[in-house]
Amino acid sequence: MKIAILHGPRDLRIEDQTLETSQLGGDEIHVKTRISALKIGTDRGNYEGADQVPGAPGYPRWVGDSNLGIVQAVGSGVKRVKVGDRVVTRAPHQSEYIMSDSDSVVVIPDGVADEDAVYAHLYALSAHCYHKAHFRPGETVAVVGVGVLGLGAIALGPLFGGRVAGIANSPVRMEMSERMGAHANFLHDDPELEAKLDAFSGGKGIDLVILTANPWPAFRTAMEIVRDNGRVSVVSLLGRGEPPLDFNPLAMELFYNKGTTLIAVSGRAGYLYPDASPNAFQTTDRYAWDNIADHVVSLMADGLLEPSRLVTHRFHYSEMVEAYEMAYHREKQMLGVIFNWQE
């Protein structure tokens, strides 16, 4: 099988590795990949050798975690999927793989396009930004960082009952935000940004800011525009690859005086009616990861959510290095990127 392996900063190689599929264990599932998706922000940071995330593996290491494939075979004890199912998993960029029945997996129903479904897990993270912050319908939301993850939050906000403004770093991204359903869009460096957001919210202020951008100036923008006693959902890796700070990120006027709540979008969301399951993926807990992804896919099936509208580039897997290099050079027109694993 083919797999993308990163041997060091900007040293990505497509390698051949042996995969034994003739004798599956009782809980094992064999999947062949159709397509995988590039997460530009996270994958670019990984590719260019930005500061290590705590717990990240050393080199060489696999890359990617949005994989859509077809189940080829299952072990005798597998109950969640069957042969022929189309599934989205957190598997890396690779042509086929074996996973465990206890791993994260979402079965994709007929009628949902591959290029929508492959974003199920990424858009589940966008949804989690709302769940973790205890979002309520009727609140006003600003999304700072209009990449794939931020655009997912923008698309989901109106479906959840929010009024959403996109805060972008270029007119191109503003246009993408508008296409995904934002009620309003602004440039992050607009000198009248706070006044415009005040007008957008009818004077009530921004209840929730979802921060998907890594740079510290984006954090400052989020802290400046949130209303007093508002919340900021942080789903970015703040400061990753950034120079030293030139301001205090928790200055009194940004944090203490405003009574701002900072929320790290990691781990489970709080919920009044949880179950006792210890498994973060397989559980009846309403906000367990696969349940969120299932909900996202149901919105796709209903025609309410179309991540594929933002696919800007399609590559054969053999051209993957070219795609990563484009991301490395911050190609503004590049957003949704799909890798085709068909020979």
- Cα gap 333→313, rounded to integer Å: 9
In a domain, 274, yes or no: no
Same domain? 235 vs 140: yes
The string of pLDDT tens digits covering residues 197-246 is 999 999 999 999 999 998 999 999 999 999 999 999 999 888 877 788 88
Place of tokens 């949005």: 66
Same domain? 236 vs 320: no
Same domain? 152 vs 96: no
In a domain, 279, yes or no: no
Q: What are phi and psi of 318, to 5 degrees?
A: -70, -15
- Torsion-angle region of 241 (φ positive above 0: left; ψ -120 to 50: alpha; else: beta): left
- Cα gap 132→83, rounded to integer Å: 35
Q: Give the per-residue pLDDT at 326.
A: 94
The domain of 94 spans: 2-119+308-340
Same domain? 113 vs 143: no
Name the nearest CA neighbour of 205 among 273, 139, 152, 301. Answer: 139
The string of pLDDT tens digits covering residues 152-183 is 999 999 999 999 999 999 998 999 999 999 99
The string of pLDDT tens digits covering residues 23-79 is 999 999 999 999 999 988 778 888 887 655 556 678 899 999 999 999 999 999 999
The string of pLDDT tens digits covering residues 247-277 is 899 999 999 999 999 999 988 887 777 666 5
Q: In b/e form, how buried is each residue of 30-48, taking b as 16+ CB within 10 angstroms? A: bbbbbbbbbbbbbbbbbbe
pTM for the model stands at: 0.91
In a domain, 295, yes or no: no
CA separation, residue 204 to residues 141, 199, 210, 295 (Å): 11, 9, 17, 30
Contacts of 51 (CB under 8 A, 6+ apart): 239, 240, 241
Q: Exposed (0-12), middle (13-18) or buried (19+): which is 187, by Cβ within 10 Å?
A: middle
In a domain, 320, yes or no: yes
In a domain, 291, yes or no: no
Give the ranges where the chain is alpha helix by DSSP (H). 40-48, 114-117, 120-132, 148-160, 171-179, 193-200, 216-225, 289-301, 320-328
In a domain, 53, yes or no: yes
In a domain, 297, yes or no: no
Same domain? 104 vs 146: no
Same domain? 150 vs 251: yes
Same domain? 104 vs 180: no
Same domain? 256 vs 184: yes
Is residue 287 pLDDT above 90, yes or no?
Answer: no
Same domain? 77 vs 183: no
Same domain? 21 vs 138: no
Choose the final residue of a domain: 264, 291, 325: 264
Name the nearest CA neighbour of 280 among 102, 54, 129, 28. Answer: 102
Query: How many domains are contained in the chain?
Result: 2
Pair 270, 285: CB distance under 8 Å:
no
In a domain, 8, yes or no: yes
CATH of residue 219's domain is 3.40.50.720
Choose the final residue of a domain: 237, 264, 291: 264
